[in-house]
Structure 1
Amino acid sequence: MKDLHGKIALVAGATRGAGRGIAQELGAAGATVYVTGRTTRNQSSEYGRPETIEETAELVDQAGGRGIALQVDHLQSDQVQDLVKRIEREQGRLDILVNDIWGGEYLVEWGEQPIWKHSLEKGLRMLRLAVETHLITSHHALPLLIKNEQGLVIEMTDGTEEYNRQHYRAPLFYDHVKTSVIRMAWALAQELRPFGCTAVALTPGWMRSEIMLEHFGVAEENWRDAASKEPHFAISETPRYVGRAVAALAGDPDVARWNGQSLSSGFLAQVYGYTDLDGSQPDSFRYLQEVMEAGKPADVSGYR
C-alpha cells in the first residue's frame, strides 16, 4: 500500500465490522486514525456488544499507525462538531473521511417484509442511524477536509449501484438506506470537485463481520466450517479486505478518476492488486450473480 504517513483519517463508526477493518488498514499504511463509535469500555450502545472503540484504536497502533478513540454519537450534531474541532486543533487537517456509521443489524426485519408489516419504529431508527448520521458528519467535517486538495470521502454501503439497481434489497427500509448512501456519495462528488477532493461509495462483499461469524457459529480461525450450513459462504471476505480498498484509494494520486462512482472491494482488488489476509481476491458480487443467484452449486473457482 502507498505510504499514508502524515495523513489524518476519521473513520466514523469504527467499533466493529468494516469500520474496524478500515481503521486497521489505514493504520498499517501509517495514517493517524480517529475512530469513533458509541461503545467504550465503560459504556455500551443499544447493540450491547463487547467490541469497543478503544480496542479498534489499539489495533490501529499495532498495525503501525496511530489510533485515537473518541466516543461520539453521530446523531448528535454538537458531538460531531466537537469531534471535528478537536481534529482541527490537534492535527490542523483532515485528509480522509470514512462514513461507515450503520447501527442497523438488530433493526432490520429480514426478508421481503412489506413496509406495512415491518416495525415503523425500527425502520425509521435505521434511517436515522445510517443516513442522517452521514449527513451530520459530512456537514461538520467537510469544511476541514476541503482545506487541502486530494481530500477523500468514502461512503460505506452494501451493494454497488449497478447491483442494487437490479436487486430489491428487502426490506424497503434497508433498500432505501443502502441506495441513499450511494446517491449521497455521487452528490458529495459534485460539491467536492471544485475543491480538488473526491467522494466515492464503497461496498465490501460478503463480509465476515463479528456478527456474521456469530450468526454461523464460527470464529475467523475456522470460518470455513460455516460452509456446511451455507456453501456459498466460501466467497466471504474479512473486514480487512475492504480496509485495503480504502487504503489503496487513499494512497492513489489519481483517486479523482473514481469521483462519484460506486465501487466494491473485489473490483478494486483487481485494479490495485491487494489481497485479503489469506492471499485471495474474492469477487463477491460477480459470484453472487453468476453462481449463487443462477442456482449453480457453490464453487469459488475463478472468483477468489
Structure 2
Amino acid sequence: MSHVYKKPLEGKIALVAGATRGAGRGIAVELGAAGATVYVTGRTTRQKQSEYRRPETIEDTADLVTQAGGTGIAVPLDHLVPEDVAALVERIRREQGRLDILVNDIWGGEHLFEWDKPVWEHDLEKGLRMLRLAIDTHLITAHHALKLMIEKPGGLLVEVTDGTAEYNAEHYRLSPFYDLAKTAVTRMAWAHGKDLKKVGSTSVSITPGWLRSEMMLDIYEVTEENWRDALIAQPHFCISETPRFIGRAVAALAADPDRARWNGQSLSSGGLAKVYEFNDVDGSRPDCWRYMKEVQEPGKPADATGYR
C-alpha cells in the first residue's frame, strides 16, 4: 500500500531546548508525531544526571520522538554556556541546513523557589540562579539559534512559560523571582515577535495548564495511570493535563500556514485546543485557565464538568 498521508511537519527541523521531561518532552514527542526531526537538549543523560537527580533523560525523550513517527536526536547541553549552544546550532546547520522551529522550554528552577517569601527573605543566590536559568538561557539560545532559523522565511519561535499574560498580570506568583521569571518570558516572546515579523517569522509564548509532569505526579505520589487518586489531596487537580496536550498545541501552531496571526501573543494549550480542535491523550479538552478563574479562585467545589 502506498504512503498517501504526509505528516504535516515532515521535512521540518525543530530544536526543543529543555526537553528532558515535562512540557519540553511532550512538545518534542508531538512534533515527532507530526513528522519533524527534533533535536532535544538537556543536562540529564543516561551517563550523567543534573542536580535534579531524576531518572528522565534526553535519550529517552529522543527515543519517544522516534517512536512517535519523527526523528529524535539527543544533545547534552547546558544552555547557560553560549559556546556550546553556538556549537549545537552549527551542528544543526551542518546536518540539516535549516531550522524551522525553536522551542525555548529551558527551566530548572524547581529546587530554587521559596514561596511566600519577600525578596529580603528569599535566598538571594537561589533567586538569581532561577533568573539565569529561566531568562538568560532563553536569550542565549535565541541569540544563536534564530540566526539559522531566519535564513528561511516562516520560522516559529515558541517561548514556554507558566501562566497566560492575562493571568500573570492579575496574580502575584508567590515569589518575586518566580513571578519575574515567568512574566519575563512572555514579554520576551512579544519583543522577539517585533523583530521576527520583519524577517517573515513568528514568535509566541505558550503556557500549559496544570501540568501532570513527572515531577508533579511524584509530588502527589501517583502515576499517569492512577493520577485521579491525587484528587483526594487536591480536588482541583481534576483539571490537569498531560505534557502531550501542550505538545499538540505547538505542533498545531507549527503546521498552521497562517501562524503569523499569532505573532507576539500569549497563548495557552487549552485556548489553542479550541481553535485547532485537538484533545489530550484521554480524549478530553481541559481548559485550565478558564477553570482557575471561574471555579478554583471563587472557591467553588472542584468540578471539571464543562471545562474538559
Answer yes or no: same fold by TM over 0.5.
yes
Matching residue of 2:56: 51
1:21 aligns with 2:37: no
Identical amino acids, percent of aligned pairs = 69
**Deviation sequence 1:198-253 (CA, Å, 0-9, x none):** 00000000000000000000000000000011000000000000000000000000
1:2·1:248 contact (CA, 8 Å) conserved in 2? no
Match of 1:70 among 69, 75, 83: 75
C-alpha distance in 1 between matches for 2:248 and 2:212: 15
Q: Aligned pair 1:280/2:284, yes or no?
A: yes
Residue in 2 that maps onto 1:294: 298
**Could you tell me which of 74, 88, 94 is aligned with 2:99?**
94
**Match status 1:132 vs 2:109:** no
Contact 2:114 2:122 in 1 (8 A): yes
**Cα displacement string for residues 237-286 of structure 1 (whole angstroms, at most 9, x for unaligned residues):** 00000000000000000000000000000000000000000000000000
- Structure 2: how far apart are the matches of 1:299 and 1:152? 36
**In the alignment, which residue of structure 1 is the partner of 2:117?**
113
Partner of 1:158: 162
Pair 1:3-2:5 in alignment? no
Letter in 1 for 2:294: E
2:167 & 2:37 partners in 1: Cα distance?
33
Quick check: 2:13–2:36 contact (8 Å CA) kept in 1? yes
Written as runs of structure 1 = structure 2, the 5 A alignment for 1:73-222 is 73-110=78-115, 112-222=116-226
Name the TM-score, length of structure 2 as normaliser.
Answer: 0.98
Segment drifting more, 288-297 vs 112-121: 112-121
Q: In the alignment, does 2:266 pair up with 1:267?
A: no
CA shift digits 1:62-88 (9 cap, x unpaired) = 000000000010000000000000000
Task: Name the aligned partner's letter for residue 76 of structure 2.
Answer: Q
Opposite residue 68 of structure 1, the aligned amino acid is I
Whether the aligned pair in 1 keeps the contact of 2:209 and 2:240 (CA below 8 Å) is yes
Q: Where in structure 1 do 4 or more consecutive aligned residues deviate above 4 Å?
A: none
Give the secondary-structure state (helix, strand or coil) at the position aligned to 1:221: coil
Secondary structure of 2:225's aligned partner:
helix
- Cα deviation for residue 194 of structure 1 reads 1.0
The 1-side partners of 2:270 and 2:168 are apart by 16
Unaligned runs of 5+ in 2: 1-5
Which runs of 5 or more structure 1 residues have no equivalent in the other structure? none
The code of the aligned residue for 2:258 comes to D
Letter in 2 for 1:69: A
Tell me which amino acid in the other structure corresponds to 2:89: V
Does the CA-based 8 Å contact 2:117-2:175 persist in structure 1? yes
| 1:46 to partner: Cα distance | 1.2
TM-score, length-scaled by structure 1: 0.99
In structure 2, what is the Cα distance between the partners aligned to 1:286 and 1:251?
A: 26
In structure 2, what residue type is equivalent to 1:78?
E
Q: What is the CA–CA distance in structure 2 between the aligned matches of 1:285 and 1:182, rounded to whole Å?
A: 16
Corresponding residue to 1:258 among 262, 266, 284 = 262
User: RMSD of aligned C-alpha atoms?
Assistant: 0.8
